């Protein structure tokens, strides 16, 4: 079986990755953390096109379009 022939630590990644990520650093971080799985992520920030809250202050109404911040998988997992 394939799993029996894999080393203790290896990288699994998508075939269409375009990044300047240092894979050696990622694998070293994974090994030192002693985690069963590590997923490389990158923070993305987008602006909402819709108001998410409305507040009234005095005679003014303010609509807020806060940035949305989230982590996305980079397609690399040691």
Return the exposure string of 39-57: e unless at least 16 CB atoms fall within 10 Å of the residue's CB, then b.
Answer: ebeeeeeeeeeeeeeeeee
Q: What is the pLDDT of residue 30?
A: 94
71: which strand partners?
43
Average pLDDT over residues 61-68: 74
Q: What is the pLDDT of residue 29?
A: 94
Q: What is the pLDDT of residue 57?
A: 66
- Whole-model pTM: value is 0.62
76: which strand partners?
13
Residues 7-64 pLDDT 10s:
989 888 888 878 888 999 999 999 999 999 999 988 999 887 776 666 666 676 766 7
| Residue 75 burial (10 A CB sphere; 0-12, 13-18, 19+) | middle
């Amino acid at each position: 079986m394939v799993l029996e022939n894999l080393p203790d630590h290896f990288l699994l990644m998508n075939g269409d990755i375009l990044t300047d990520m240092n894979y050696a650093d990622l694998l070293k971080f994974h090994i030192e953390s002693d985690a069963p799985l590590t997923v490389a992520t990158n923070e993305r920030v987008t602006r909402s096109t819709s108001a998410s809250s409305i507040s009234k202050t005095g005679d003014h109404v303010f609509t807020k379009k806060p940035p949305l911040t989230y982590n996305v998988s980079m397609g690399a997992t040691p």
